[in-house]
Amino acid sequence: MFVQDLQKEFYNLIKADRVLVFVNNDVDSVCSMKILQNLFKTDHVLYTLLPITGKKDLYNEYNKHKEGYKYILMINCGATLDLYEFFDLEDDVTIFVADYHRPIEVTNIYNDGQIRLLHPQDTEELLPEYQEIFRDSDSEESESEEEDEYGEKRPRYDESALIKRRDRREWEENRQRILFQYMQYSSYGSSTALLFYLLSWKLKRDSNDLLWWAIVGSTECLVSNKIEEEKYLVDSSQIQNHVARLNSTPIDQLPKGCLKISFERSLKLNLLRHWTLMESIKHTAYTAMKFKLFSIKGERLLLDFLADLGIPLIECKQKYNFMDSKIRDEVPRAIEAKMEKYDLEDIFHNTFSCQFGYQHKYAATDFVQALGATLEFGDANFDPKQAVYEGLDMLSRTNSAKLSEAIEKARDQTVAIVKMAQNILDSKQITSAGPFLYSIIQEGTPNICYLSRHSTIKILAYFLQQGHISNSRSRKAADLPLILVAPVDEKNGLSVVVGIPPFNDKTRKNFFGKAFEQTVKNTQTRFLIDYWDSSLIQIKTEDRSKFLDGLVGLLS
């Protein structure tokens, strides 16, 4: 069931008792938890925080820690599962689900109260009606029986029984069709961090810190291609109102160290304020595609562009914040004057930034990348659960050293992604299979463990897609989805498969979840669906070829 009033039907309940909190290991989840931690600290709420990495981990952690808890809170996990069956819930346990993964499992929507969904119902999402997918036990017709000559009971096939059987079969067929239409595409809703910020505002506990964490979570949904731009604009308009309300005092009149948030139009370049202008352009997917930096001519075209801007090359290779101030201030205007000539109409975007104390100004996208690298960028011994705690620490303004380390790590991660994409594109490893493009990263590839985790592998897939479009002569390239296969556990022979929609499809709806499920059934591929995002799946590496062949057959 959907919760109508977050304060009365959720927060007032859990603050009176201990609550067990499961947190997914992604950027929006960590921002959501950071907001909640602030509220819990203010109201002295007792809670246990458990980061979880997948469905199996959630099941194990729940059974290990469930004793003594009446309330469970799940952040960005659980909505796509039948939670009542998954956990075999006790009658006195209530689960609150704040999850932006879509579609929501229908049994959670129509649960009578033990499963409570905190995100409001999406008006654009057409939910199946109750009577279309559920039948009350009273309406389950039992066929009339009669005794045969040996005294044994057997069904009586009279006319009324046959009509009921036919109606039942038609209802089942209609139910399957409705459920398939509802669940055929996976997508994302609005940021969970924004949801909890609005709760804090309603509780009159909001501040610039909480607002900034909501901004980071909401921005991650956009830059990770989880939501379409129209939905982000609706969410950001809400945020802008709160930014204006909390940031009316000029920054020079604020106390030292006070956080100031602003909404501005800036260049859409990765980590620009913490890199050089040239490196930032090279390591941003949009500009890399426009300048064809994956080809031999690309580097020359980029140098011509910088020369056309009138910016000395030595300044372009200087760290952006240490450039000559007059030249740095001129960069956005110079690029804007030349963007039509170089087909860079989308190089600017409206975004949020923050500044505190004497620190540099930070863009929300910088925070997203820094937190994302903290949560995923590491070697084979990397602990994704511990990374969630480190991410929570990084978001605190008192830990500026950790933020600087995280930004360094984000740069390293971006370089690794671009280097891998460059190698794949140079060796022409992206192949057209007819209904989709695909690329396979072979076992033994150096440092693949840094790039095979769930969010990073999707970033790499989107980078590859745009790089391939820039190099391809085929007009169909932008209309084809892409499959990327990479080794995720070479010791046990496992690979991760990720599917992303076509570049020209701006709805962000992904059909690969259902396609993967059907393919593994058809091909008898050994698999594990443990990710919360259904467009990722693990398969046995040796079954890779038959899986891809089966997927081609299914989508052709």
CATH assignment, 6-127: 3.90.1640.30
Place of tokens 């995002």: 533
Query: In whole angstroms, what is the distance from residue 480 CA to residue 311 CA?
Result: 38
Compute the distance between CA of residue 540 and CA of residue 443 in angstroms, rounded to an integer. Answer: 12
Find out whether 453 and 384 touch, Cβ atoms under 8 Å.
Answer: yes
**Closest-CA residue to 432 (of 486, 487, 469):** 469
- Within the chain, all domains assigned CATH 3.10.310 are found at 428-555
Q: What is the largest CA-CA distance in the chain?
A: 103
467 in Cβ contact with 398 (< 8 Å): no
Instruction: Determine which helix (DSSP H) or strand (DSSP E) holds 307, and give its type and residue range.
Output: helix 296-309
Give me the DSSP letters along 170-191.
HHHHHHHHHHHHHHSSBEE-S-
Pairing of strands 94-98, 115-117: parallel
**336 φ, ψ to 5°?**
-60, -35
Query: Cα angle at 24 between 506 and 351, to 5 degrees?
Result: 45
Q: How many CB atoms lie within 10 A of CB 521?
A: 11
HSE-up (13 A, CA, CB side) for residue 545: 1
Q: How far apart are CA 438 and CA 415, in angstroms?
A: 22
Cβ proximity of 192 and 217 under 8 Å: yes
Report the candidate in 487, 466, 488 with the shortest Cα–Cα distance to residue 477: 466
Residues linked to residue 495 through DSSP beta bridges, in sequence order: 487, 539
Q: Measured between alpha carbons, how far is residue 456 from residues 270, 395, 453 in Å?
A: 15, 20, 6
Hey, what are 300's tokens?
């020359």
What's the rounded Cα separation, in Å, for the pair 363 and 366?
5
Question: What pLDDT score does 251 carry?
Answer: 64
Number of H helices, E strands in the chain: 22, 18
Strand ranges in 235-301 using DSSP code E only, listed in sequence order: 259-267
- What does the alpha-carbon distance between residue 129 and residue 150 come to, in Å, rounded to a whole number? 46
In single-letter form, the type of residue at position 232 comes to Y
- Say if CB 402 and CB 390 are below 8 A apart: yes
Say if residues 509 and 495 touch (Cβ distance below 8 Å).
no
**pTM score of the predicted model:** 0.93
Spatial CB neighbours of 326, under 8 Å, sequence gap ≥ 6: none
3-state class of 502 per DSSP? coil
The CA-based angle 297-298-304, given to 5 degrees, is: 95
Closest of 283, 231, 295, 249 to residue 428, by C-alpha: 295
What is the full per-residue pLDDT of the chain (556 aa) written as tens digits?
899 999 999 999 999 899 999 999 999 999 999 999 999 999 999 999 999 999 999 999 999 998 989 999 999 999 999 999 999 888 889 999 999 999 999 999 998 889 999 999 887 778 888 888 887 655 544 555 555 555 566 665 567 878 888 888 888 889 899 998 999 999 999 999 999 999 999 999 999 999 999 999 999 999 999 999 999 999 999 999 999 999 887 766 667 668 899 999 999 999 999 999 999 999 999 999 899 888 778 889 999 999 999 999 999 999 998 899 899 999 999 999 999 999 999 999 999 999 886 667 899 999 999 999 999 999 989 999 999 999 999 999 888 889 999 999 999 999 999 999 999 999 999 999 999 999 999 999 998 999 999 999 999 999 999 999 988 888 899 999 999 999 999 999 999 999 999 999 988 899 999 999 999 999 999 999 999 999 999 999 999 999 999 999 999 8
Write down the CATH number for the domain with range 428-555.
3.10.310
| Dist. CA 548–CA 299, nearest whole Å | 35
Pairing mode of beta strands 94-98, 71-75: parallel
Residue carrying the six token digits 């799946």:
537
Q: Within the chain, which residue ranges are assigned CATH 3.90.1640.30?
A: 6-127
- Residue 311 has φ and ψ, to the nearest 5°, of -100, 125
Nearest to 470 by CA among 438, 503, 447: 503
What's residue 163's pLDDT? 84
Residues in the chain, overall count: 556
d(CA 215, CA 367): 10
Cβ–Cβ under 8 Å, residues 347 and 268: yes
pLDDT score for 6: 94
Do residues 49 and 33 make contact, with C-beta atoms less than 8 angstroms apart? yes
